[in-house]
Amino acid sequence: MTKSTRQPRTKILINSGMALSNVLEIPTSGFNFENVARNVALEGLLEGGQTKTPKPMKTGTTIAGLVCKEGVVLGADTRATSGEVVADKMCAKIHYISPNIYCCGAGTAADTEKTTDLLSSNLTIFSMNSGRNPRVVMAVNILQDMLFRYRGQIGASLILGGVDCSGNHLYTVGPYGSIDNVPYLAMGSGDLAALGILEDRFKPNMEMEEAKELVRDAIHSGIMSDLGSGNNIDICVITKQGVDYIRPYQESEYKDKRQKRYKYGPGTTSILTEKIVPLELEVVQETVQQMDTA
Amino acid sequence: MEIDFMDSQIKGVSTGTTILAVTFNGGVIIGSDSRASIGGYYVSSKTINKLIQVHDRIFCCIAGSLADAQAVTKAAKFQISFHSIQMESPPLVKAAASVLKELCYNNKEELQAGFITAGWDRKKGPQVYTVALGGMLLSQPFTIGGSGSTYIYGYADAKYKPDMSREECLQFATNALALAMGRDNVSGGVAHLVVITEEGVEHVVIPGDKLPKFHDE
């Protein structure tokens, strides 16, 4: 295998995106690096490079999903970390895509959030235009095209699950744009721990309660064995009848109790002096625009 | 689990793999293993599908970066379909292979994926084409590819005979896959085989424990 030095090119491989007549967004080709210049300027401004820009919030995470007899069960923990600090203790990692499709996201929190938002908006427009509920495989194809186009720069590992007219589906989408259709799955930093539980107890066509317990146990195992996962467990159950988004399905037993009240009513801080300075404003220009209420 | 991608040449999921295609009297057999790995030490899927149908009687099997290969075959499927509709006849296997070759060659800096295209058409019957990493297109009576193929070059060269029967060819392909999967750590899982003839397409799946065993197993 020859190892070639890869120079980024603006040529695109495929015309990715959806049929133009049905959706609002027309994806542009190539990369969009407008924010790089802004970030460099910001970093320079912050005390001559002494202060570092905050690290992107990652969801070091455990997410899992499985296909059971009546539908699809998705589960996730609720911890979002930024470096060594837990940035969000009740982060929602199961994102809404459409009434019959939900998506768990691992990786950079912003990337998973925005990618799933974008997908959800576009699928809504599509279903309004075509009058049909989107299929899971369509959502997967759109995600694949988008993530491949960004060549792994979007750090989103996603588990897509949903029920449509062709059955119950569970797909994994990797950050480089690879997809796989699977009956059970775990992703994120705690995936190995969760996968152990799933590999041991998964059976095809499980009953709903058993399936929910298995996903809970898998996420719990991820929480216990992985530093990046923790706090509560969310479960989302998708069936032909509808969606049951249980948040939280189980609260962490290590929830801390606040020692004091941190709310301070008005009057806590006494006012020592008061000085009122009127602002002299000069009217430079005044325009009146009639509103057309016809 | 922070996976370090740096030590692997392929970023993301790769199909470190064994793929092959062999012509026989009246058809062609295309086969692969089913393992997808990350970094050479984590099996991300035991049951990945590497045999992709690009037209009624044309299949292609993928090696290299899974994301790149899936994107290329998606584009190729569309182009071959369109070509076939314009020509109002099933595409030639050579046409399908050329489509893949164009995509690989023109984007060779960004892509890391290789393919074996095999199928049957009315003009030349059963054919096998290999499209290598940089976009080389070659027609051969049989071909092997992927990381596991290095272990079976000797076996393939010694045991291949032109004009085999369907059963002989099936046995040859199964043995070759089993030998490669036995020695290559990034090939494994089940053996997928597809038999393509004028009459139709038949899938044969051989689970790991039913594969032929050799002297030290």
10-residue mean pLDDT series, chain A (294 residues)? 41 40 55 72 67 63 94 93 84 93 91 93 91 91 91 89 94 92 92 94 94 95 89 93 89 77 85 92 89 84
CA distances to A27, A136, B58 from B121, in Å? 37, 34, 8
- Asked if B6 reaches chain A (Cβ–Cβ under 8 Å), the answer is no
| pLDDT at res. A208 | 94
**Choice among B42-46, B97-101, B117-121, B195-199 with the minimum mean pLDDT:** B42-46
Mutation target vs A (from B109, B147, B149; most A CBs, 10 A cutoff): B109
Nearest CA in chain A to B103: A13
Is the Cβ pair A11, B106 closer than 8 Å?
Answer: yes
Rounded Cα–Cα distance for residues B19 and A189 (Å): 31
Nearest to B50 by CA among B76, B25, B20: B20
Provide, as residue numbers in chain A, all residues whose Cβ is less than 8 Å from the Cβ of B70. 144, 148, 177-179
- Asked if B132 reaches chain A (Cβ–Cβ under 8 Å), the answer is no
- Asked if B15 reaches chain A (Cβ–Cβ under 8 Å), the answer is no
- Asked if A78 reaches chain B (Cβ–Cβ under 8 Å), the answer is no
- Asked if A177 reaches chain B (Cβ–Cβ under 8 Å), the answer is yes
- Asked if A189 reaches chain B (Cβ–Cβ under 8 Å), the answer is yes
Provide, as residue numbers in chain B, all residues whose Cβ is less than 8 Å from the Cβ of A189. 1-2
| pLDDT at res. A33 | 67
- Asked if A221 reaches chain B (Cβ–Cβ under 8 Å), the answer is no
Percent of chain B with pLDDT over 70: 94
pTM above 0.80, yes or no: no
Q: Which residue did the predictor score with more confidence, A38 or B193?
A: B193
CA distances to A179, B27, B62, B100, B181 from B34, in Å? 14, 23, 11, 22, 10
- Identify the three-state secondary structure at position A108: strand
Tokens of A80: 């979002």
**Choice among A23-27, A35-39, B84-88, B177-181 with the minimum mean pLDDT:** A23-27
Nearest to A87 by CA among A51, A57, A53: A57
How confident is the model over A198-210, as pLDDT tens digits? Answer: 999 999 999 999 9
| pLDDT at res. B168 | 95
| pLDDT at res. A24 | 53
Tokens of A31: 């990369």
| pLDDT at res. B5 | 40
DSSP letter, residue B144: E
| pLDDT at res. A51 | 58
Q: What is the mean pLDDT of chain B?
A: 90
**A174/chain B closest Cα distance in angstroms:** 8
Complex confidence, ipTM = 0.74
How confident is the model over A109-130, as pLDDT tens digits? Answer: 889 999 999 999 999 999 998 8
**B33/chain A closest Cα distance in angstroms:** 15
Rounded Cα–Cα distance for residues A113 and A95 (Å): 8
Q: Do A45 and A37 contact (CB within 8 A), yes or no?
A: no
Nearest CA in chain A to B132: A1
| pLDDT at res. A85 | 85
Q: Helices A109-130 and A136-149 meet at what angle, rounded to 10? A: 130
Tokens of B161: 């005979």
| pLDDT at res. A11 | 38
| pLDDT at res. A223 | 92
Rounded Cα–Cα distance for residues A272 and A50 (Å): 37
Task: Please write down the HEC assignment for all residues of A27-68.
Answer: CCCCCCCHHHHHHHHHHHHCHHHCCCCCCCCEECCCEEEEEC
Average pLDDT on B63-82 reads 93
Q: Give me the residue from A7, A145, A148 closest to B109, CB to CB.
A: A7
Please identify every residue of A annotated as catalytic. Answer: 61
| pLDDT at res. B153 | 96
| pLDDT at res. A56 | 63
Average pLDDT on B16-45 reads 90
Tokens of A204: 């095809």
- Asked if B81 reaches chain A (Cβ–Cβ under 8 Å), the answer is no
Tokens of B67: 């994301």
Rounded Cα–Cα distance for residues B75 and B71 (Å): 6
Q: Give me the residue from B12, B72, B110 closest to A174, CB to CB.
A: B12
| pLDDT at res. B3 | 40
Whether B17 sits among the annotated catalytic residues: the reply is yes
Which of residues 148 through 187 in chain B touch A, CB cutoff 8 A? none
Which of residues 224 through 243 in chain A touch B, CB cutoff 8 A? 226
**pLDDT of B120 over the 70 cut:** yes
CB pairs under 8 A between A and B: 75
Rounded Cα–Cα distance for residues B95 and B83 (Å): 9
CA distances to A133, A163, B44 from A68, in Å? 21, 11, 22
Q: What band does B141 get if pLDDT is binned at 50, 70 and 90?
A: very high
Q: Do A78 and A93 contact (CB within 8 A), yes or no?
A: yes
